[in-house]
Structure 1
């Protein structure tokens, strides 16, 4: 990916590339057909395998938000920001979340977009903040007061530019600014690592750097008898494109669930992660 910034000395690191070598999944395959074409959100569209139950989540929680994310009609293709189609069909479903008209909402940006949308929609706007690659804290609370971020060389600062507003348009303009100056490297510094055994919806498999990539854990299920846990993944990618639920290539089409008992590394369709690369937002 090539979203370069003007901050001196940081452009080669910012918004780390989400491109990577091809890889295949390596988790256990289930034969059951799990895709319900008529489902309009994550929970309705994708069932859990026989013997498993969705992990309980509190109403209004981040995990509950993910399960109720709207999906585009079954069979929809992933489009890039410019309207072109994603070259690889490595997905089971497409989230009904706009990608914008600029090459901004890539991999880490998709993670930040979902996090910010949840906080914005649940009345927790004061918790919305992300760091730029140089460490500058860009918080929405300051932005919505009419302040805007100015970048001059390696200097980043706030400047009063207008009236205060809580409008969604102002919120989206804030996110575009964040997308331009934050990425996988900054996320890896502001999020905390969590053990694989403690995984929960909203956690992120993350490799910070250039190249780097980020994939969010969208949902989880558990077998009450064996204790085995399954999880579902969603990603953005480069060029900026619609957020999509990844297929598990080891299972074949129709079963996007991955197992936490994967051996060695997690092989997603377009990136490979280690067990140690699981992160969580601290708020």
Structure 2
């Protein structure tokens, strides 16, 4: 019975807003936590918004994190200088090439989720020129030929759905997709309808994209908060963003704020919010 009571208390500790005490002390980071769900708690009075088991939202809010205090590194091993940008580093490789930048990080998270659920037929992304790169085609042994603006498939390998082959597929997508192509693939959603997995994105050269990885709600007022993650240029570890505009709730962002969404390295507008179609 004692174990059951302790377990229930621990569950409430993670799911409810116990981060910011009534006296204003900000304790939203639990250094011992090894995932987004456990490391970053909502402010006082807020409760995490529920997610469906097996959903993209569940995957994102349970992203594994490197130990507290870990630093963001670039693909070449260099360290991101501005540590004020982030509060946590996602424990996911970035490879050794300058490929996994902002839109690529969003693509990576979506693809990883679908791959591990074996939803292979749903893994497809468009190149900037409109070419659709389906993972199933790649896994069947086809490869992509790019000659100028002409892109085509050709048979080169045996069927292989292994993880290394999946990563090789993603590297090709990263090389030829970006914010311009991803913005066209996603569908616009109202800021009031935000869900975990939605993306703030501005297509361009370079453009930028960040992804919503958790949400919380004050059930008394209905106000909602959310967490954001990104990669940036050059290719670097995916990291959870601080809110430099509001230290009282950082790293959470307030959904009721209208107009601009000011992240540490980019400013979006609420109309930039988009969602994966399927």
TM-score normalised by L of structure 1: 0.88
User: How far apart are 1:33 and its partner, in Å?
Assistant: 1.1
Aligned residue number for residue 77 of structure 2: 83
Q: 1 or 2, which has the higher helix percentage?
A: 2
**Any residues of structure 2 matched to 1:21-60 within 5 Å, and which?**
31-60=25-54
Bigger drift between 248-257 and 178-187 goes to: 248-257
Q: Distance in 2 between matches of 1:74 and 1:154?
A: 44
Quickly say closer, same or farther: Cα 1:124–1:229, change in 2 above 3 A. same
Match in the other structure for 1:192: 187
8 Å contact kept, 2:87–2:240: yes
Determine whether 1:61 maps to 2:55: yes
Map 1:1-283 → 2, pairs under 5 A: 31-89=25-83, 90-252=85-247, 255-283=250-278
* Structure 2: 5+ residue stretches without partners: 1-23
Deviation, 1:252, is 3.0
For the residues of structure 1 that align with 2:34 and 2:248, how far apart are their CA atoms? 19
Distance in 1 (alpha carbons) for counterparts of 2:244 and 2:226: 14
**Structural RMSD (CA):** 1.1
Deviations 1:53-94 (A, max 9, x none): 111101111111012111000000000000000121110000
Cα gap change, 1:250/1:141 in structure 2, threshold over 3 Å: closer, same or farther?
A: same
Cα distance change on mapping 1:250 and 1:32 into 2, 3 Å: same
Contact 1:33 1:255 in 2 (8 A): no
Task: Classify the secondary structure of the residue corresponding to 1:187.
Answer: helix
Deviation at 1:125, TM superposition (A): 1.2
Superposition deviation, residue 32 in structure 1: 2.8
Q: Which runs of 4+ in 1 moved over 6 A?
A: none
Q: 1:93 to 1:44 in 2, by over 3 A?
A: same
Give TM-score scaled by structure 2 length.
0.90
SS of 1:251 mapped into structure 2:
coil
The structure showing larger relative contact order (alpha-carbon pairs under 8 Å, at least 6 residues apart) is: 1
Given that residues 247 and 269 in structure 1 are in contact (C-alpha distance below 8 angstroms), is that contact kept between their aligned partners in structure 2? yes
1:247 touches 1:253 (CA, 8 Å); kept in 2?
Answer: no
